[in-house]
């Protein structure tokens, strides 16, 4: 039970990480959001058999994580939550698509396996990029940037409140499960027969709590618009960060670097 409680209370680690002061954290939020968007677009634009072309994109999260001094384990743990979904999407590809294909000049696999691995890699990289963005920028600053990009107010608000509701919900789950564990004879988990009443109570409690938080926001002048204060000005370094990564992503998209290196090596060996 204590492990569960610890992991529940660790939910806010991304907020904590976003308050660090490193080279990456100091980059203007707008440039980080644009870089991440471009990265996601480039990843999604690869077709399902282009596994080798995706490989150089792995360097973006690795370099950012290293420069931002982010701990890898909490990020990977959060990614694991979504991983079953990604695996589920590509699970049957190896069974249905058995045509042999060349990945790299010296590796051959079936088309199904290649598309499965490509889906897996795409999923992992996109989630990692989103997590890295939140951990280096913070949700409130991301919301401010979305406002600058003229994203409709209602979407930004929805995003912010959902993000905040997750922590409210998880805190309530923690309390409810602890109270349950102290009075149940079971050593682990919640009995199936208690699930109904427990989730019902949880829903009511979190709604009540969310309502109180909303009231306290209204009492301080909240009228449906979130103001993050003045964000810092865009500096040359910020523009260089975006253009540097942008050029790299475009290069990776239109030029298959692993294949080129492979051809070069095999050419030299011949």
Partner 1 sequence: MSHHIIQVNNLKYSYPGGRQALNGVNFQILHGESVGIVGANGAGKSTLLMHLVGVLFPDEGEIAVGEVPVIKKTLPLIRQSVGMVFQDPDDQLFMTTVYDDVAFGPRNYKLPEEEVEKRVRSALETVGILHLMDRLSYKLSGGEKRAAAIATVLAMKPDILVMDEPSSSLDPKSRRRLISLLRCFTHTKIIASHDLDMVLELCERTIIIQDGKVIIDGPTGEILANEELMEKCGLEMPLCLQGCPVCGTKKAK
Binding site for partner 1 (CB under 8 A): 12, 15-16, 18-19, 138, 140, 164, 209, 212-213, 215-223, 225, 227-230
Q: How far is the CB of 192 from partner 1 (least distance, A)?
A: 31
Q: How far is the CB of 228 from partner 1 (least distance, A)?
A: 8
In the block, tokens 């475009």 appear at 250
Taking residue 251's Cβ as centre, other Cβ atoms within 10 Å add up to 11
Nearest to 14 by CA among 136, 162, 168, 174: 136
Closest approach, Cβ 204 to partner 1, in A, equals: 13
Output DSSP code: residue 226. -
Shortest distance, position 164 Cβ to partner 1, whole Å: 6
Question: At what angle are helices 195-219 and 153-183 packed, to 10 degrees?
Answer: 130
**Alpha helices per DSSP H over the chain:** 2-9, 13-18, 23-26, 29-45, 51-54, 59-67, 72-90, 93-96, 111-137, 139-148, 153-183, 195-219, 236-254, 257-269
Q: Rounded distance, CA 115 to CA 119, Å? A: 6
> In Å, how far from its chain's centre is CA 194?
33
Residue 27 DSSP symbol: S
The least distance separating partner 1 from the CB of residue 219, rounded to whole angstroms, comes to 5
Minimum CB distance to partner 1, residue 97 (Å): 46
- 145 CB-contact burial (10 Å; exposed 0-12 / middle 13-18 / buried 19+): buried
Distance CA 100, CA 45 (A): 23
Q: In whole angstroms, how close is the CB of 81 to partner 1 at the nearest point? A: 21
Distance, in Å, from the CA atom of 200 to the CA atom of 14, rounded to the nearest integer, reads 29
């Amino acid at each position: 039970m204590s492990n569960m409680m610890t992991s529940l209370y660790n939910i806010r680690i991304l907020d904590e990480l976003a308050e660090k002061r490193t080279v990456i954290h100091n980059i203007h939020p707008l440039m980080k959001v644009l870089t991440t968007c471009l990265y996601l677009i480039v990843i999604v634009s690869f077709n399902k058999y282009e596994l080798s072309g995706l490989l150089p994109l792995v360097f973006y999260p690795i370099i950012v994580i290293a420069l931002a001094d982010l701990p890898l384990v909490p990020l990977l743990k959060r990614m694991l939550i979504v991983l079953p979904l990604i695996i589920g999407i590509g699970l049957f590809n190896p069974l249905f698509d058995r045509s042999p294909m060349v990945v790299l000049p010296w590796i051959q696999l079936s088309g199904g396996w290649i598309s499965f691995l490509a889906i897996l890699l795409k999923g992992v990289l996109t989630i990692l990029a989103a997590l890295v963005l939140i951990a280096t920028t913070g949700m409130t600053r991301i919301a401010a940037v979305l406002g600058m990009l003229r994203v409709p107010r209602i979407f930004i608000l929805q995003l912010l409140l959902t993000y905040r509701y997750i922590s409210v919900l998880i805190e309530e789950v923690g309390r409810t499960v602890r109270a349950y564990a102290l009075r149940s004879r079971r050593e682990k988990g919640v009995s199936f027969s208690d699930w109904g009443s427990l989730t019902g109570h949880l829903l009511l409690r979190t709604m009540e709590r969310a309502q109180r938080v909303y009231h306290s926001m209204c009492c301080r002048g909240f009228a449906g618009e979130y103001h993050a204060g003045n964000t810092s000005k865009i500096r040359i370094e910020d523009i260089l960060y975006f253009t540097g990564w942008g050029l790299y992503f475009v290069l990776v998209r239109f030029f298959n670097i692993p294949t080129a290196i492979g051809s070069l090596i095999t050419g030299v060996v011949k």
